Amino acid sequence: MWQGSGLGAGTAVLLLLSVALLLPHLHLEGPEEEPPGSSMADTGTLPKLREDFRMQNKSVFILGASGETGQVLLREILKENLFSKVTLIGRRKIEFEEEAYKHVNQEVVDFEKLDEYSSAFQGHDVGFCCLGTTRSKAGADGFVRVDRDYVLKSAELAKAGGCKHFNLLSSKGADKASSFLYLQVKGEVEAKVEEFNFDRYTIFRPAVLLCNRKESRPAEWLARKFFSSLPTSWSKDHSVPITTVVRAMLNNLVMPSDKKMELLDNQAIHNLGKAEDVDKP
């Protein structure tokens, strides 16, 4: 949530300190009604649904499989053997040593010329998009190029290539009318992907992703430290472990749905992701 939002590390520190001071004065009790996702997570039928899904021999592509979320997603997809074919679409080949990865296909593409790589997007039933960069890493224009243009072009090619279920990793607070570039871009992309009219389109809106990120991102590191020091019920509103996001993605995947569009906010991700924890790395 912090990445690319235009906040420098110093501003982020000040914001976190202000929130810390305000927290004791806030009324933070959750709503009484059952939060979205919890009934699905508690059905106890997940193993059966997973088996049914496997039997359909579907194929999947993942964009951003070298990233923090994409890596965990790929690992769990392979562990659960959910698809008969797994393809990674990325700007570079990823080296894998483990046996489990030996049948993974890799399509190396130039995202600036994606139209020339339309064949990479052909014939996948399901797609997951975990692409993204930060404003501090790529600049404002670079961030928009990756998080909006690359994502939208990929979704367009995926739809043309026959993808039925597109899963988009977006962000808490995504809002095309936001004055924050990060949230505005996320909201705009969510809305534009919907126009591609996938049979099923699922948007995940996690808050700050909790993981041991290899890349140094000071503001995110601080946010993680801050949220992990809060009581669980508070930190759950503002953060979520990547393993929980992935669990929610895969639990949702195997649950048949007649909804054309599903939007899972941070609370729903926690609920759906709590059914079974994925292995910690």
C-alpha to C-alpha distance for 29 and 82, rounded to whole angstroms: 38
Q: Pick from 216, 281, 215, 205: which is nearest to 240 by CA?
A: 205
Q: Are strands 208-210 and 105-108 parallel, antiparallel or unpaired?
A: unpaired
14: its two tokens: 């000040």
39: its two tokens: 């009934």
Tell me if residue 186 is catalytic: yes
Active-site pick, 182, 192, 236, 260: 182
39: which residues sit within 8 A by CB, 6+ positions away?
A: none
Using the minimum distance from each CB to ligand NAP, give the nearer residue, 46 or 73: 73
Q: Which residues bind ligand NAP (CB under 6 A)?
A: 1, 3, 64, 66-70, 90-92, 111, 130-133, 146-147, 169, 171, 206, 208-209, 220
> Residue 98's CB: how many other CB atoms inside 10 A?
8
Active-site pick, 153, 159, 172, 186: 186
Using the minimum distance from each CB to ligand NAP, give the nearer residue, 41 or 208: 208
Residue 70 CB, shortest distance to ligand NAP, in Å, is: 5
CA distances from 189 to 151, 181, 183, 267 (A): 8, 12, 10, 21
Using the minimum distance from each CB to ligand NAP, give the nearer residue, 29 or 115: 115
Q: Closest CB to ligand NAP belongs to which residue?
A: 67
Residue 146 CB, shortest distance to ligand NAP, in Å, is: 5
Residue 89 CB, shortest distance to ligand NAP, in Å, is: 9
Q: Are 168 and 129 in contact (CB under 8 A)?
A: yes
Residue 130 CB, shortest distance to ligand NAP, in Å, is: 5
C-alpha to C-alpha distance for 147 and 142, rounded to whole angstroms: 8
Question: In angstroms, how far is the first alpha carbon of the chain from the final one?
Answer: 22
Residue 159 CB, shortest distance to ligand NAP, in Å, is: 19
Using the minimum distance from each CB to ligand NAP, give the nearer residue, 46 or 158: 158
Q: Pick from 87, 98, 84, 88: which is nearest to 55 by CA?
A: 84
Using the minimum distance from each CB to ligand NAP, give the nearer residue, 50 or 124: 124
Residues classed as catalytic:
182, 186
